[in-house]
Amino acid sequence: MKGRHERIKIKGWSGSAAVWLLLVPLFVLIVLKTDFLPQVARLGDTSFTKVADEMVQKVSSLGLDRARWQQQQTLDVAKLEDSVVGTSDELTGHVDANNEDSNQPNQQILAMSRSKDSRLINSDVAAAKTSHLSCNFSSAHMDTCAMDGDIRIHGRSGVVYVVASSDYRPENATAVIRPYPRKWEQATMERVRQITIRSTAPPGADTDGGGAIIPLRCTVARDMPAVVFSTGGYSVNFFHTMNDILLPLYITAREHGGRVQLLAANYDRRWTAKYQHALAALSMYPVVDLDADAAVRCFPSARVGVESHRVLGIDTPLTGSNGYTMVGFLAFLRSAYSLPRHAVTTHTPSPRRPRVVMVLRRKSRALTNEAEVVAAVAEAGFEVVAAGPEEAGDVAGFAATVNSCDVMVGVHGAGLTNMVFLPRNGTVVQIIPWGGMKWPCWYDYGEPVPAMGLRYVEYEVAANETTLRERYPMDHPVFADPVSIHRKGFNHLWSTFLNGQNLTLDVNRFKAVMAEVYTSITAAPV
């Protein structure tokens, strides 16, 4: 693949403008997962398959480990509930300064502790320390539990204790959540680690025996909220990273202004490193690897599970007084990645040519006449930055490139998710492959666009612009009745229309569309 991308000089470009920036992380580009037929998750191309295989291996070993986990959980809990805790250096630096004994791990118990203040805590504060738990299982996307009071999280066993819960009921003293917001996709959710929330009864309550669990003692006490999420699921795909993890974390954790501890199930070190900028903007503390964590971490409040509303979108009313919007989310990302351009400047005469980033695919839905298409876009008046998926992933670097542009062009696929880094009033041009794909493509990367403060333009290819022509006659259902292929199931749709074609754009028709985009950007506002 390397060497294919020599500098190309295009007529009419200034030399320095004609630089092909070939950045891009994005094996994610290659992957696509449409939501409109949600049951099946498709992991397409070979370079992704390698990653996918790794993931599947990891996942299935997690699956195999589940029994071991459960066993371990019993062991850990038994051991820990016998209060064999408080080993680690974890404690250093996490202790309350106002406690003389604070360097003694076992004294770091919030309520019901044997610390010096325990009389005080038990007599006065303990009553106020009654915990509250409320869970919401009614969304189609996710389950979440919110809790406050005396919350203790033991990562390795995957248990969250809600100590002395005023909402305690013996019949539902245990709730289970997989903290990833694709509840309707069973196969995905099976790869997400399950977190158990155990309530204990308030003192003196009639517990029916069930509330007799003695909660673990805290080994690390923090005075900030906790949010438990998962980096499992489809985090290798940039669309899913945004849609299933970062946006939901924004909705769930942003309100704490960074003073929040994130704890990740299915912890993926590479993922947390890759998205460190966004994570650091959400929380000023490193993400805790929940799976490996032997500490008992105590918090005054916690959320287990993250909130997701719609594809790359936010239902503002559901965010209450926070009033979150996608425009706000994009502004948050710009700040997290230190992106300088907040809005496209539309005034004429512009100090420079408007700039287009072309998100190019390689293995499927690739442009067979890429160079001609790039030239056509340049002839329509733009400076062009062509970005292929080859170079390994520097999210921040590509975010900066996208932000320097006014327009993003790409064939339907996860790479278009990078639109979140465009400045306000930027334009997204989605090229829709052949096969009755207009609606599903719009659903992922069209419908969400206006709420981001961006503009959306569509270019739907005609039957004479697809390499499917080489494989099927015009009277074949692929051309005569593409929707009949959809009806055969997602696998057929995927292999035929998403994985099975490259595009040869009609350069003149595409150039005309780009010329209109150019006019809409450079025309002075009325």
Ligand X SMILES: *[C@@H]1O[C@H](CO)[C@@H](O)[C@H](O)[C@H]1NC(C)=O
Q: Which stretch binds ligand X (CB under 6 A): 7-15, 180-188, 362-370, 441-449?
A: 362-370
**What's the closest the beta carbon of residue 259 comes to ligand X, in angstroms?**
24
**What is the spatial distance between Cα 77 and Cα 75, in angstroms, rounded to a whole number?**
5
DSSP state of 522: H
Written in H, E and C, the secondary structure of 235-301 is: CCCHHHHHHHHHHHHHHHHHHHCECCEEEEECCCHHHHHHCHHHHHHHECCCCEECCCCCCEEEEEE
**What is the spatial distance between Cα 432 and Cα 461, in angstroms, rounded to a whole number?**
6
**Which of 83, 88, 92, 136 contacts ligand X by CB under 6 A?**
136
**What's the closest the beta carbon of residue 237 comes to ligand X, in angstroms?**
20
* Beta carbons of 423 and 344 less than 8 angstroms apart: yes
Size of the site for ligand X (CB under 6 A): 26
**Which of 363, 438, 469, 492 contacts ligand X by CB under 6 A?**
363
Q: Which stretch binds ligand X (CB under 6 A): 102-110, 150-158, 165-173, 325-333?
A: 165-173
**Which of 135, 205, 280, 451 contacts ligand X by CB under 6 A?**
135
Residue 96 or 167 having the CB closest to ligand X: 167
Closest CA to 218 of 344, 114, 335, 75: 114
Residue 97 or 524 having the CB closest to ligand X: 524
**What's the closest the beta carbon of residue 419 comes to ligand X, in angstroms?**
15
**Which of 5, 132, 277, 424 contacts ligand X by CB under 6 A?**
424
Residue 225 or 500 having the CB closest to ligand X: 500
- 266 lies in the site for ligand X, by CB under 6 A: no
Q: Which stretch binds ligand X (CB under 6 A): 52-60, 116-124, 169-177, 282-290?
A: 169-177
Question: Mask 316-335, x = binds ligand X (CB under 6 A)?
Answer: --x-----------------
Q: Is 303 left (phi over 0), alpha (psi -120 to 50) or beta?
A: beta
- 133 lies in the site for ligand X, by CB under 6 A: yes
Q: Which amino acid is at 350?
A: S
Q: Say how many Å lie between the first and final Cα of the chain, rounded.
A: 46
Phi, psi of 350 (to 5 degrees): -80, 145
**Which of 78, 176, 343, 512 contacts ligand X by CB under 6 A?**
343
Residues 6+ apart with CB under 8 A from 231: 245, 264, 265, 266, 267, 268, 271, 272
**What is the spatial distance between Cα 25 and Cα 33, in angstroms, rounded to a whole number?**
18
**What's the closest the beta carbon of residue 225 comes to ligand X, in angstroms?**
17
Q: How far is CA 162 from the centre of its chain?
A: 28
**Which of 122, 467, 495, 522 contacts ligand X by CB under 6 A?**
467
Residues 6+ apart with CB under 8 A from 54: none
154, two tokens? 């033991």
- 500 lies in the site for ligand X, by CB under 6 A: yes
Instruction: Kindly report whether the peptide bond that precedes residue 105 is cis, defined as omega within 30 degrees of 0.
Output: no
Residue 173 or 263 having the CB closest to ligand X: 173
**What's the closest the beta carbon of residue 44 comes to ligand X, in angstroms?**
11
Residue 94 or 341 having the CB closest to ligand X: 341
**Which of 57, 61, 464, 491 contacts ligand X by CB under 6 A?**
464
- 413 lies in the site for ligand X, by CB under 6 A: no
**Which of 43, 175, 304, 431 contacts ligand X by CB under 6 A?**
175
* Beta carbons of 391 and 25 less than 8 angstroms apart: yes
Residue 344 or 380 having the CB closest to ligand X: 344
**Which of 36, 285, 506, 515 contacts ligand X by CB under 6 A?**
506
Q: How far is CA 193 from the centre of its chain?
A: 16
Residues composing the chain: 526
**What is the spatial distance between Cα 470 and Cα 464, in angstroms, rounded to a whole number?**
10
Q: How many CB atoms lie within 10 A of CB 119?
A: 9
* Beta carbons of 141 and 183 less than 8 angstroms apart: yes
* Beta carbons of 95 and 108 less than 8 angstroms apart: yes
**Which of 502, 505, 510, 518 contacts ligand X by CB under 6 A?**
502
- 310 lies in the site for ligand X, by CB under 6 A: no
Residue 58 or 492 having the CB closest to ligand X: 492
Residue 84 or 512 having the CB closest to ligand X: 512
Question: Mask 365-384, x = binds ligand X (CB under 6 A)?
Answer: -x------------------
Q: Which stretch binds ligand X (CB under 6 A): 73-81, 208-216, 375-383, 496-504?
A: 496-504
**What is the spatial distance between Cα 330 and Cα 332, in angstroms, rounded to a whole number?**
5
* Beta carbons of 239 and 444 less than 8 angstroms apart: yes
Q: Name the site residues for ligand X (rule: CB under 6 A).
A: 133-136, 138-139, 167, 169, 172, 175, 318, 343, 362-364, 366, 424-425, 462, 464, 467, 500-502, 506, 525
